[in-house]
Amino acid sequence: MITKEDVEHIGWLARIEINEQETVEYMEKLNSVLEYFGQLDELPTEDVAPTYHVAEVYNVFREDVAEECLPQEVVLANTEHKQDGAFRVPKIG
């Protein structure tokens, strides 16, 4: 069962402010979802093969092949913001 403290903690983790009314509302909604999962647990699934995806999912991979890249001069030709052979970007933070 989800408590008001649980909802407040989730709000704190998500860095969102939740007022008292929203806390109660979210607590009720989350508990409703958990009750639904409880109903699903009661279904007879012994003879049902487990599935992990509704549709068949396959990973599509490509060969990682090294190719020729552009020369450094060509890459930096269209910018004014370069220094020591690299792009010069603003400092972050």
Q: How far apart are the first and last CA of the chain?
A: 42
Where do the domains of the chain lie, and which CATH numbers do they carry? 4-41 (1.10.20)
31-62 per-position pLDDT tens digit: 999 999 999 888 998 898 887 777 787 888 98
Q: What is the pLDDT of residue 83?
A: 94
Check residue 21 and give its pLDDT.
Answer: 97
Cut 0.85: pTM above it: no
What pLDDT score does 55 carry?
79
